[in-house]
Structure 1
Amino acid sequence: MATRVSVDGLRELEKALEELPKATGKNVLRRVLRKAAEPIADDMRAKAPDDPVTQGNDLRSSIGIGTKLGKRQGKLHRKMFKNDKAAVEMFVGAGVIPHSHLQEFGSTIHGPQPFARPAWDANKNHALNIVAKELGTEITKAAERLARKQAKAAKG
């Protein structure tokens, strides 16, 4: 089931991003994606089952946001997107815990306790709204920082 989403103004923001240096543009996108992913991660932590015996070294505490995947996930991801080196990605989910998928989907002896999909479903529109609102602001801030840096370099 495909969902179609439309956001006005992204073409203009893309053009503004292209005017920034490549590294600066990627950093802007990473900051915005991290802000957008935070509500999803918070909801995942709230929905993840908690084992009091583990005292904080468990599924719930492993949920985070980052730009890197585990070894196996990274290998699978590279196979799917090997030609897209210019992309900026942010991942939300459980850390390298071997049983996280069993909690989400269940097994023959353990019923499913979904936490990731419900968190995504509940927050995906909010995340998109954060990207739409924050991207322009972050691009403006980055352009202003760049202009101040260039002005300082021109003086001294």
Structure 2
Amino acid sequence: MSRLKGSADLERRLLQIPNEVLTELRPALINGAHDIADAMEMLVPERDGDLLGSIAVTGPNETTPPYSAGGSVTLKANQAAVTVGNTDVRHGHLQEFGTAHHEAQPFMRPAFRLKKAKVMRRIASAVTKAIKKAGGQ
């Protein structure tokens, strides 16, 4: 079976695109997570600051803090996370959703909704830039 002239080069370049996209995507993911974390910090109900101090950003290929929602998880190369909670603070979900004795005071979901469009535009722009760069444009 014969290959088209240049197809090996094209195939090699196409296989490189995912790595180049991930390289360009990493800063966009981290900046987006920080945008959401900043909004959460502005919205978190403050009494003694423990919940505010437990908001953390985890970048691609890093591990989330223990006691964050879902426990400690190692993220993939195309993921970033904002978590709430640490070894001393484990009540973020109770604050967000409320309990039988405490009315909900959401701050996580509203922060995500406020920043989602901006973060998604930043990520799409990074992907587009990486693909154009990989294609030599």
1:128/1:18 Cα in 2 relative to 1: closer, same or farther (>3 Å)? farther
Of the candidates 89, 108, 117, which is equivalent to residue 125 of structure 1?
A: 117
Identify the residue that residue 69 of structure 1 maps to in structure 2.
Answer: 64
Q: Does 1:114 align with 2:102?
A: no
In the alignment of these two chains, the number of paired residues is 114
- Percent identity of equivalent pairs: 32
Whole-Å separation in 2 of the counterparts to 1:86 and 1:46: 28
Give the structure with the larger helix fraction.
1
1:104/1:129 Cα in 2 relative to 1: closer, same or farther (>3 Å)? same
Of the candidates 78, 88, 95, which is equivalent to residue 85 of structure 2?
A: 95
| TM-score, structure 2 normalization | 0.65
- 1:48 and 1:115 in contact (8 A); partners too: yes
Letter of the 1:19 partner, please give it: Q
Whole-Å separation in 2 of the counterparts to 1:114 and 1:65: 19
| TM-score, structure 1 normalization | 0.58
1:69/1:116 Cα in 2 relative to 1: closer, same or farther (>3 Å)? same
Identify the residue that residue 19 of structure 1 maps to in structure 2.
Answer: 16
Whole-Å separation in 1 of the counterparts to 2:18 and 2:113: 34
Letter of the 2:55 partner, please give it: I
Identify the residue that residue 38 of structure 1 maps to in structure 2.
Answer: 34
Q: CA deviation at 1:108?
A: 1.2
Which ranges of structure 2 fall in alignment gaps of 5 or more residues? 1-12
Whole-Å separation in 2 of the counterparts to 1:86 and 1:60: 26
1:134/1:87 Cα in 2 relative to 1: closer, same or farther (>3 Å)? closer
Whole-Å separation in 1 of the counterparts to 2:116 and 2:104: 22
CA RMSD, 1 decimal: 3.1
